[in-house]
Amino acid sequence: MTGVRVLGRTVDDETRCVHYATPLDVIAIRFACCGEYYPCHRCHAECADHPAEQWPREQRDREAILCGVCSSELTIERYLEVDACPNCSAAFNPGCRLHSAYYFQA
C-alpha cells in the first residue's frame, strides 16, 4: 500500500479492520467530517474525537474511496457504480452497500 494513512484498527495492509476482514473488505473511506481515511464507520466511531458526517450528494465527484489492494483513489460516484476496483479489478464487498447511509447522503 502507498503512503496514504488509514486510521482505525486495521489488521492488514489492504485496509481490512477488526470489524470487517473478509477477502472482499479492501476499501477505506475518507470521511467528510475530517478528511481522514478509515476502514469503516465503526473504526471512525471508536477512534475519532467527533461524530461522523455523510458526504453530501452534490460532492460525489470527490475522491473518497481508497482501494486497499492497489491504493487507487476513486470518486464516490465511481465507487457506487462498480463492484470491483476499475484499476486492479480487486472485488469489493457487495455488503458495503448496506452501510452506504453511514457515509453518503441518499
- Record the pTM: 0.93
- Where exactly are the structural domains of the chain? 27-103
Measured CA angle at 20 (ends 19, 25), to 5 deg: 160
**DSSP letter at 98?**
G
106 residues of the chain, pLDDT tens digit each: 457 899 999 999 999 999 999 999 999 999 999 999 999 999 999 999 999 999 999 999 999 999 999 999 999 999 999 999 999 999 999 988 888 999 999 9
For residues 67 and 57, give the distance between their C-alpha atoms in angstroms, rounded to a whole number. Answer: 21
